[in-house]
Amino acid sequence: MMQSAIECVHQSLSVSVFSVGGRVLVKDAQLNSEDTWEVVISMASAALGVPDSCCMLLTQLGNFLPASATADDCGSLTAVAVQKGRVFSSHHCRGFSYVRGIGSTVFWGNVPESSSVQAQLKSGVQLVAGTSTSYAALKSDGSVVTWGNAHTGGDSSSVKEELTSVRHVVATHGAFAAIRQDGSVVTWGNSWSGGDSSSVKDELKTVQCVGSSRSAFAAVTDAGVVVTWGMSCSGADCSAVREKLASNVRLVVGTSTSFAALKHDGSVITWGTPCTGGDSSSVKEKISSGVLSLASTSSAFAAVKDDGSIVTWGDCDAGGDCSSARQELYGVKSVAGTSSAFAAVKECGTVVTWGASASGGDSTLVKHDLCGVQHVTGTSGAFAALKDDGSIVTWGNAREGGDCGSVREALLR
Please check the confidence at residue 248 and state whether its pLDDT lies above 90.
Answer: yes
pLDDT tens-digit map of 88-134: 999 899 999 999 877 899 999 999 999 999 999 998 898 999 999 99
Q: Is 379 helix (H, G, I), strand (E, B) or coil?
A: coil
Q: Pick from 293, 172, 185, 191: which is nearest to 235 by CA?
A: 172
CA atoms of 144 and 313, how far apart (whole Å): 35
Is residue 71 scored above 70 in pLDDT? no
- Those residues with Cβ within 8 angstroms of residue 288's Cβ, 6 or more apart along the chain or in another chain: 267, 268
> In the prediction, which pLDDT does 6 show?
53
Phi, psi (5° rounding) for residue 210? -135, 135
pLDDT in tens, 232-247: 999 999 999 999 999 9
Helix (H) or strand (E) holding 72: helix 71-74
CB-based contact 172:133 (threshold 8 Å):
no
Which band of pLDDT confidence, cut at 50, 70 and 90, is reported for residue 13? low
pLDDT at residue 340 is higher than 90: yes
pLDDT at 199 over 80: yes
Backbone phi, then psi, for 43, in 5-degree steps?
A: -65, -45
- pLDDT, the chain, mean: 90
- Of the candidates 331, 307, 407, 318, the one whose C-alpha atom is nearest the C-alpha of residue 360 is 318
Judge contact between 150 and 110, C-beta under 8 A: no
pLDDT(210) > 90: yes
Q: Domains of the chain, with CATH numbers? A: 3-83 (3.10.20.90)
Residue 307: pLDDT above 80?
yes
pLDDT at 9: 46
pTM: 0.86
If one counts every other C-beta atom within 10 angstroms of the C-beta of residue 78, the result is 12
The span from the CA of 297 to the CA of 319, in Å, is 7
